[in-house]
Each structure stands twice: as structure tokens, then as C-alpha cells.
Structure 1
Amino acid sequence: MRVSLFITCLADQLYPEVGESVVRLLHRYGCEVDFPEVQTCCGQPAFNSGYQDEAREVARNLVRAFEHSDYVVTPSGSCSGMVHHYYPYLFQDEPEWKDKADKLVAKTYEFSQFLVKVLGVSDLGAYFPEKVTYHPSCHAMRLVGIKEEPQALLSNVQGMEFIDLPRKEDCCGFGGTFAVKMADMSQAMVCEKAANVCATNANVLVGTDMGCLMNIGGRLNKEGKPIRVLHISQLLEEGVNNGERK
């Protein structure tokens, strides 16, 4: 199975180790992974700020980058949500590009979604003996409908004590440009989210979006809370390695 990695801006610039974990796990299940180097941003920051023409031009580049891919996998429900929901809208008046956008939508998957729904994998043989709580990101959950897949993967991790996060469906306050435009409100939201994470007494927070995890992790670090923050791919890869050594 040939898969193209859509790395996203945050992972590319700040968390490349997330992309590496994704690729190693996909290789484990027989996927041939390529990385189109012409890919850039999905256009979400511009789109959310009202710059639709600029977002459309950025989107064209992403469509071109993955035009010949069989599957496109990304470690971000947020960027996947941008492609799924807003690319057809951006190109609604351009039939040729609308068709290309629809084809990209049909083959684009968030990482946990791809593992469970396409590869049919929910048990990776991982062993991770830690107390873990999970933050479901808004865009993954509400835009792409990713609810069961991360839970299915986490429920099969051996040795892990999973603790449900209070008010887990509340936004963390990041929202891309929202955190900049509405800084005070964003801070109040992430403070509440961090408090709920701490209330679980978990020592690991896991999620599917590095935007959310960066925001929550930054708040936890500012408060001096020794809680590891991991993308689900990182937790699973570490767990797989633990399981092999066990």
C-alpha cells in the first residue's frame, strides 16, 4: 500500500519526531511511505482569518502535491478537517479544481483513522505502563468524526492505566489563529483544560493534534506540572518498542 505523509506545518517545523513515529508505524504494517517535498501549509490559518483567496492558492499547492498519491495520511485532525470540509467550498466555482479537491478529500485520513479504518489495526502489541489521559481535539472530533479510533488504539495498549479526562470535549483554546486574536479567552480555556488534566493524576497526556498538545503542554510546563505530552503515534511507537523488549 502506497501512502503519502502530509506532515503539517506544526509537525514539520516543531515536532518532526511525530512524523517519524507515524512513518515507522506505517512501515511496520507494510505501507510504502513517500513525502512530497512540495507540500506546504493546508491554508487553514489564512482561511480562518478571512483570507479566502490566499487560502485557495495555498490549497492548490497541496492538491498538486498529493495529486498522484493513493492515500494521504496526516498526524492532524485539524488539517485533515480543513481538507475535508473547506477545500470543496474553496473550489465550488471552479469545476476542474473542485474535482481535484474531492479526490484529495476521498483519500485523506488522520493517522489513527487510517490505522483502524483502512489498515484494520487496533492492537499494535504495545506495552505502556503509565497513567494516561486523552484529549480529543475539536477539529478531529467535530469536523472529521474521529471519536472511536483513538480510543480503540489506546484500549489495546497493555499495562496502561487509562483515566478519562473531565470535560474532555471542551476546547483547549488553541484554534490556530483564535489563540492570537482572542488571547485572553484562549488563556482562560487552556487554564481550565490544564486543570482538568492535572485532576486525573495522569503522568501522560496524549492526543491526535499537535496544535492542541502544544497549547496544553505549554500551559502545563508554565505551571511546572511534570506531565509528558505525546502524540498518539509517539505513545504507540514507544509502546510497541516496550512490548518487543518485554
Structure 2
Amino acid sequence: MKYNVGLFIPCYVDQFFPEVGIATLRLLEKHNCNVIFPEQQTCCGQPMANTGMEQEGKKIYQQMAELFKNCDYIVGPSPSCVYHIRKHYDVAEQTEEIKHLRANCYDLVEFLYDVLKITQLDVSFPHRVGLHKGCHGLRGMQLDKPSELQKEVAPKWTTILHMVNDIEIADLTRTDECCGFGGTFAVAEEAISVKMGKDRVQDHINNQVEVITSGDMSCLMHLQGIIKRQKNGPKIMHIANILNGDTL
């Protein structure tokens, strides 16, 4: 079955990392999706909600719902933004459009795993990779198993990554520790945020990682800034680029 998929590209990806959006588009098209990109889309409203302006964000929520109302699914390369839509659009009036958006909005990896149910990828990435498991995707959406949970959780991130030929996934010392970005937390608590980020980078260095990947480019942006400033550390690459077969 060919789905009509609305491509949701977070604002920071659109502005700073367009290659992630392009990789997401190509990956969906490779798997027989009819991709629709509403050019009027804006920020999902998460930064406003994080700073106590959730009521002001309602107009954004309503616009997003209207733009994607005719799509079978809405897919974006950001568990953080997708989780915000699912969890926090509850403050808006629950119109049919809002309910449709919340019920059918998926992170890219989740969509590949749960909806398309892919079992192989005809791509190669011959590098040692460290997977940074961002907090919203890990604990909010359970795209992998948090270390504190006793119940079994399908390891969607790692399962999909293992479909890539020639990849080596490193066993990190602290597999699910926060990078310290946290959106506006990085501004309000700069010193703590930087220290947490440095600790995450060092874990990857200690385990001889060549490339740090994640489902959230926001986390990677934070780690990339630290790596550039300390002039030491792996390269960064969004998981969509790896799954699409892009090279470093």
C-alpha cells in the first residue's frame, strides 16, 4: 500500500541542517511513500511551551493540524518534536484535525519500524558509530529501552541501524545519559548543560567512536558545538543520513 505521508521538518532542521530533511524525504520515497511537504509549516511550538507560553502556541498547533489533515501519516526526523505534538497538543481544542495529527504523527525510525516494517536497507556505512539516545525518543516514545525500565521495549533505533551494511555500533559506557541540551535548558543552565555535553562526547571518545548519531539533530547540534570548541571528538551525523546511505 502506498501511503500519503506529510513530511514534517522541524524549524531548526530546515534552517541549519537541510540535508537531514532531504535524507528523510529520499528515504521515505525509497520505501514507496507519496511524500507531501506543506511549505507553510513552521515550528511545532515546543520552544514556546518550554518557556511557559503554551497558550500562545495554540495557533501554531491549529495551523499544523490544518496543514496535515489530508495525510495518512505525518513523519518527521525528530522524536522531540513528534513527542511534543503527541503529548502536548492536548491543550488545544481537540478538533478532528488535531486528533488526527496527534494520532498519526511518527518519528522517522518509528515509522520505518512500526508502519512500513522494513527488514533490510541496501546501504553501507563502514564506520564505528555511537548512538546517542535522546531523552524524548528514549523515555517519551520508547524507541529503545531505558536502563531503568524492567519491562521489555523493542530497540527500534538499534534494530534499524543494524540493517545498515558494514556498520559497527559501539557499546557506550553510559548508554542513555542526557546530553544536556534540553532546548531552553541549555540557555538557562549553561554551565550544567556544557558539562553534561562534554561528558557525553568523552564517552564516545573513550569508546573509539568515529561518528555520533541520533534521531534528534538538536542533541547532535549541542554535541557538535562542544566538539568544535574543544577541537576533539567524533563527527556527527543524523540517523536519517546514515539510513539513506549518505557518506561522511
TM superposition score normalised by structure 1:
0.91
Alpha-carbon distance in structure 2 between the residues aligned to 1:163 and 1:78: 24
Q: Shift of residue 100 of structure 1?
A: 2.9
Identify unmatched segments of 5+ residues in structure 1. 242-246
Alpha-carbon distance in structure 1 between the residues aligned to 2:136 and 2:235: 22
Deviations 1:94-143 (CA, angstroms, capped at 9, x unpaired): 34x3x432211111100001111111114212221111110010011111
Task: Name the stretch that deviates more: 143-152 or 171-180.
Answer: 143-152
For 1:225, the equivalent position in structure 2 comes to 232
Q: CA RMSD in A?
A: 1.6
- Residue 53 of structure 1, aligned match among 47, 52, 55: 55
For 1:126, the equivalent position in structure 2 comes to 123
Q: Shift of residue 232 of structure 1?
A: 0.6
Alpha-carbon distance in structure 2 between the residues aligned to 1:122 and 1:25: 14
Q: Shift of residue 238 of structure 1?
A: 2.1
Q: 1:30 aligns to what SS in structure 2? A: coil
Identify unmatched segments of 5+ residues in structure 2. 145-154
Deviations 1:143-171 (CA, angstroms, capped at 9, x unpaired): 12211211111112221221022212111
Query: Are the counterparts in 2 of residues 115 and 122 from structure 1 also a CA contact under 8 Å?
Result: no
Alpha-carbon distance in structure 1 between the residues aligned to 2:27 and 2:165: 17
Deviations 1:186-236 (CA, angstroms, capped at 9, x unpaired): 111111111111111111111100000100111112121252211111012
Aligned length: 236
Query: Are the counterparts in 2 of residues 194 and 216 from structure 1 also a CA contact under 8 Å?
Result: yes
For 1:106, the equivalent position in structure 2 comes to 103
Alpha-carbon distance in structure 1 between the residues aligned to 2:30 and 2:213: 21
Structure 2 letter corresponding to 1:34: I
Alpha-carbon distance in structure 2 between the residues aligned to 1:85 and 1:122: 29
Within 5 A, what are the aligned runs for 1:165-244? 165-238=172-245
For 2:29, the equivalent position in structure 1 comes to 27
Deviations 1:53-108 (CA, angstroms, capped at 9, x unpaired): 112222111111111211100000000010111112x12xx34x3x4322111111
Alpha-carbon distance in structure 2 between the residues aligned to 1:101 and 1:225: 45
For 1:10, the equivalent position in structure 2 comes to 12
Whether 2:138 is the aligned partner of 1:141: answer yes
Within 5 A, what are the aligned runs for 1:145-156? 145-147=142-144, 148-156=155-163
Aligned-pair identity in percent equals 35
| Structure 1 residue ranges, 4+ long, deviating more than 4 angstroms after superposition | none
Q: 1:197 aligns to what SS in structure 2? A: helix
Query: Are the counterparts in 2 of residues 165 and 197 from structure 1 also a CA contact under 8 Å?
Result: yes
- Residue 115 of structure 1, aligned match among 109, 112, 115: 112
Query: Are the counterparts in 2 of residues 122 and 152 from structure 1 also a CA contact under 8 Å?
Result: no
- Residue 87 of structure 1, aligned match among 82, 86, 89: 89
For 2:149, the equivalent position in structure 1 comes to none
Task: Name the stretch that deviates more: 27-36 or 139-148.
Answer: 139-148
Query: Are the counterparts in 2 of residues 80 and 144 from structure 1 also a CA contact under 8 Å?
Result: no
